[in-house]
Structure 1
Amino acid sequence: MEKKVALVLALMLLASTLVSAEETPTIGQRLDSATADVTSFFNDHALPAVDSVSSTAKSIFNWFGDKAKEWGL
């Protein structure tokens, strides 16, 4: 009787270990998730700021170009 109980408990422990091993993400999955999170954050928050700065820089560059043409430079 004791051997049967020990066997059942050992099988239950093995099964729970296998199930928890499947649920635990690997290091690669964690890195992929973190990369996706950073990319998503950049696209949502930083990209509009970068576009705004880029647009402002283009406007300033064009303004100086127009002034240089006016002055014959």
Structure 2
Amino acid sequence: MEKKVALVLSMMLLVSVLSSAEETPTIGQRLDTATNDVTNFFNKHAGPAVDSVSSTAKSVYNWFGGKAKEWGL
């Protein structure tokens, strides 16, 4: 009788450990989550700033291009 109880308790403990191991994310899942978080942050916050800088750079480039044409360069 005691052996059966010990066996049942051991099996319950094993199942509990295995089921909790499935809930823990793997290293790959953690890396994917971190990468997605960084991408989402960049798209939300840094994306508009990059667009503004590239727009300013294009304007300056076009201005210099216009002046070069005026001066015949």
1:7 shift after superposition = 1.4
* Matched residue type, 1:69: K
Query: Is residue 60 of structure 1 aligned with residue 60 of structure 2?
Result: yes
Query: Is residue 22 of structure 1 aligned with residue 22 of structure 2?
Result: yes
Structure 1: tracts of 5 or more residues without a match: none
* TM-score scaled by length of structure 2: 0.89
Task: List 4+ stretches of structure 1 deviating above 6 A.
Answer: none
* 1:8-53 alpha-carbon deviations (Å, 9 max, x no partner): 2111111111111110111111111111111111111111111110
Map residues 24-39 of structure 1 onto 2, 5 A cutoff: 24-39=24-39
1:2 shift after superposition = 2.2
Identity %, equivalent residues: 82
* Matched residue type, 2:28: G
SS at match of 1:39: helix
SS at match of 1:61: helix
Separation in 2 of the partners of 1:52 and 1:9? 64
Q: How large is the Cα RMSD of the aligned pairs?
A: 1.1
**Which residue matches 2:72?**
72
* TM-score scaled by length of structure 1: 0.89
